[in-house]
């Protein structure tokens, strides 16, 4: 495992971080279903034992089950081996007191006395303005002075202008951005990455595989481009190496839930040095990116932040098969997959969860989407 240092605090973080939003689930539960706890615990401990020392979670993940699950897994000696990151859900904050209430609730759920890396979750320009007005900067200072928060940061889903404004608005330790070879100019993008790094912030890269899209078998038009490389790599390896090629990236988060994927990611993390891709390889990835973007119709990473839908629609699955249709041009396969998944042939439809699950999700999920999941490029 390689490690990269945040100069601002001296922490040496594993370049591969474990994202706990897509943990393995019990069979027959699409979307944010119940966690397959024995399997997920084994996966987490295997990754930590192999050098991963950064774990990322949040209140909404797995309908609120991710934080308590991590609290149980880490309580038996593993807490001291990792830096633990979680997030303050700004959409649940109406008063300054809400910030303390939520933070103390998270400490209890995570069974810890401190949060190593605490983020304001999913900021945009408008949500930052709201939080700043409510006194979030003073809240962070107090929490750091008390030792409850060690490092303060924010995750971001907005435009680059808003991102740079937020970076400059507070003495942050780190930030988290969506960063992959399809999103070079989307949201914070490469320019935002370099801007944050120039200010001394550690940068955590999320959605580096674009919700798994860049790890799957590539469409023929893309595969033909990447197959032209002298060094043959899997689609996932191309995507991961492209992110790690940027020395400004401190940690790449991967929502790992298959043992084979964890093994592959660990192997690549041993070998992917910054600025190690050749100009020819970078040009191939750029061509692959342009081809993907010209074929895709829906900008969706499958994060399930839009769920549950009040009309019972499994939104991420609809977008997944809409994109699959246009990427692979197989109408029959896309229609069958859509009917099987959305029609509930193999499992209950994700849009029709219990009232209890829906109520839990509404407390955690943003009230108004700002993730542009249904826009077109």
In a domain, 300, yes or no: no
pLDDT at 359: 40
Is 70 exceeded by the pLDDT of residue 153? yes
In a domain, 368, yes or no: no
In a domain, 111, yes or no: yes
Helix (H) or strand (E) holding 178: strand 174-178
Is 80 exceeded by the pLDDT of residue 283? yes
Q: What does the pLDDT average to over 11-33?
A: 83
Q: How do residues 350-374 score in pLDDT, each as one tens digit?
A: 444 433 333 443 344 444 333 333 3
Q: How do residues 295-354 score in pLDDT, each as one tens digit?
A: 776 666 565 667 677 777 777 767 766 666 556 656 665 666 666 556 654 444 444 443
Residue 250 three-state SS: coil
| CATH number of the domain encompassing residue 249 | 3.20.20.100
Task: Domain count for the chain, please give it.
Answer: 1
Quote the CA–CA distance of 46 and 52 in Å, as a whole number. 9
Question: How would you label 92-119 residue by residue, b for 16+ Cβ within 10 Å and e otherwise?
Answer: bbeeeebbeebbeebbebbebeebbbbb
Helix 37-49 to helix 259-271 angle, to the nearest 10 degrees? 20
Q: How many residues does the chain have?
A: 377
| DSSP calls for 316-372 | HHHHHHHHHHHHH--HHHHHHHHHHHHTTSSS--TTS--HHHHHHHHHHS-SS--S-
Residue found under tokens 């790890």: 215
pLDDT at 297: 60
Q: What does the pLDDT average to over 120-136?
A: 95
According to DSSP, the residues that pair with 174 across neighbouring strands are 153, 202
Quote the CA–CA distance of 141 and 94 in Å, as a whole number. 19
Q: How do residues 218-237 score in pLDDT, each as one tens digit?
A: 888 999 999 999 999 999 99
pLDDT confidence tier of residue 166, bands split at 50, 70 and 90: very high
Residue 60 three-state SS: coil
Q: What is the pTM of this model?
A: 0.82
Is 80 exceeded by the pLDDT of residue 143? yes
In a domain, 304, yes or no: no
In a domain, 79, yes or no: yes
In a domain, 108, yes or no: yes
Residue 58 three-state SS: coil
Residue 253 three-state SS: strand
CB 131 within 8 Å of CB 93: yes
Quote the CA–CA distance of 232 and 279 in Å, as a whole number. 16
In a domain, 116, yes or no: yes
Max CA pair span of the chain? 59
Using alpha carbons, select from 3, 253, 9 the residue that is nearest to residue 151.
9
pLDDT at 352: 42
Q: How do residues 58-103 score in pLDDT, each as one tens digit?
A: 999 998 999 999 999 999 899 999 999 999 999 999 999 999 999 9
Higher pLDDT, 23 or 350: 23
Q: What percent of the chain shows pLDDT beyond 70?
A: 80
pLDDT confidence tier of residue 293, bands split at 50, 70 and 90: confident
pLDDT at 363: 41
pLDDT at 350: 46
CB 39 within 8 Å of CB 261: no
In a domain, 369, yes or no: no
**Could you say which DSSP state residue 35 is in?**
B
pLDDT at 210: 87
Return the structure tokens found at 333: 């396969």
Task: State the residue range of the domain holding 156.
Answer: 3-278
């Amino acid at each position: 495992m390689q490690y990269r240092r945040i100069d601002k605090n001296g922490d040496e973080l594993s370049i591969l971080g474990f994202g706990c939003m897509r943990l393995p689930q019990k069979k027959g539960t699409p979307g944010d279903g119940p966690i397959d706890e024995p399997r997920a615990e084994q996966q987490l401990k295997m990754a930590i034992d192999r050098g991963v020392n950064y774990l990322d979670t949040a209140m909404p993940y797995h309908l609120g089950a991710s934080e308590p699950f991590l609290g149980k897994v880490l309580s038996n000696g593993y807490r001291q081996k990792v830096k633990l990151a979680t997030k303050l859900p700004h959409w649940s904050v109406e008063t300054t007191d809400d910030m303390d209430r939520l933070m103390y609730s998270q400490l209890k759920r995570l069974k810890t006395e401190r949060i190593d890396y605490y983020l304001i979750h999913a900021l945009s320009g408008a949500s930052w303005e709201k939080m700043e007005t409510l006194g979030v900067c003073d809240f962070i200072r107090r929490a750091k002075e008390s030792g409850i928060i060690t490092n303060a940061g924010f995750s971001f889903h907005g435009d680059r202008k808003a991102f740079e404004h937020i970076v400059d608005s507070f003495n942050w330790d780190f930030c988290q951005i969506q960063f992959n070879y399809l999103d070079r100019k989307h949201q914070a993008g490469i320019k935002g990455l370099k801007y944050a790094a120039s200010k001394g912030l550690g940068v955590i890269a999320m959605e580096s595989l674009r919700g798994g899209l860049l790890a799957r078998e590539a469409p023929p038009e893309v595969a033909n481009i990447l197959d032209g490389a002298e060094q043959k790599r899997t689609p996932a390896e191309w995507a991961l190496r492209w992110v790690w090629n940027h020395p400004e990236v401190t940690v790449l988060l991967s929502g790992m839930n298959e043992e084979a994927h964890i093994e592959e990611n660990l192997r690549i993390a041993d070998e992917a040095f910054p600025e190690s891709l050749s100009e020819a390889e970078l040009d191939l990835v750029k061509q692959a990116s342009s081809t993907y973007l010209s074929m895709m119709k829906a900008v969706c990473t499958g994060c399930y932040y839009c769920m549950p839908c009040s009309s019972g629609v499994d939104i991420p699955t609809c977008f997944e098969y809409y994109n699959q249709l246009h990427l692979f041009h197989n109408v029959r396969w896309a229609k069958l997959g859509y009917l099987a998944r959305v029609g509930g042939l193999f499992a209950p439809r994700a849009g029709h969860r219990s009232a209890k699950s829906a109520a839990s999700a509404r407390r955690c999920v943003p009230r108004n989407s700002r993730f542009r999941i249904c826009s077109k490029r």
